[in-house]
Amino acid sequence: MSDPIISVEHVTREVADSTGTLTILHDIDVRIDRGGSTAIVGASGSGKSTLLAIIAGLDRPTRGTVHIAGTDLFALDEDARAALRAQQLGFVFQSFQLLAHLSALENVMLPLELLGRADARAKATEMLRRVGLGERLRHYPRTLSGGEQQRVALARAFVVEPAVLLADEPTGSLDHATGETVMQLMFEMNRESGTTLVLVTHDRGIAARCDRQLHIEAGRLREDSVA
């Protein structure tokens, strides 16, 4: 059996508030194999976005650690974690996270340029055409619809051919029909690329389309069968 692409080992996340210590995640232990798709399902405040942020190395656990492709994230300094994210991870967020002063093409080129890729323009153009935005290359985010902005975000995430795609409520800012179109595209691109998809959602219908479902409630994670 191959080693998991993601290994979360006894992760606990605590924060201090006015009443004392609040535990957001309780001893999370999970392994995710390469390829396929995993949904982390939970209500608002359940800890699912915190868990995703820790998997990405954007937040630190109070205890425990995360390995990505065999590398201990929290044995690295911040610069090394950022380099690992650039090389191994793609991100899709509810709020798109596009840079307003950059065109669609420039937004998708950016991660390639940060990696020093000489083919950034050609690769970004090809990816925007893949998501149906070949006629919107020079448009800025403010001139694009929500669905178009999320497709730019998908193109930016997949253009670096990441080992892992982390998606946090990717349809949360979209109407149902637009969200369905975006999700269909994301699953298609995931299958085509062989990327490992980890999807955080409160929507059990979306979760049911993944190969595996994990349920998180009050910071505790269990394997979940979504019917």
Residue 79 clears pLDDT 90, i.e. is over it: yes
Instruction: Report pLDDT for 223.
Output: 80
160-194 pLDDT, tens digit per residue, is: 999 999 999 888 888 888 888 889 999 999 888 88
Residue 76 clears pLDDT 90, i.e. is over it: yes
88-107 pLDDT, tens digit per residue, is: 999 988 888 899 999 999 99
- Give me the count of residues in the chain: 227
Instruction: Report pLDDT for 104.
Output: 96
Q: CA 158: distance to chain centroid?
A: 11
**CATH architecture group of domain 6-221:** 3-Layer(aba) Sandwich (3.40)
pTM: 0.87
Residue 226 clears pLDDT 80, i.e. is over it: no
Q: Under a CB-based contact definition with an 8 Å cutoff, are residues 152 and 141 in contact?
A: yes
Residue 149 clears pLDDT 80, i.e. is over it: yes
Q: Under a CB-based contact definition with an 8 Å cutoff, are residues 96 and 42 in contact?
A: no
The percent of residues above 90 in pLDDT, for the chain, comes to: 71
Residue 1 clears pLDDT 70, i.e. is over it: no
Name beta bridge partners: 37.
197
Q: How far apart, in whole angstroms, are the C-alpha atoms of residue 171 and residue 149? A: 11
Mean of pLDDT over the chain: 91
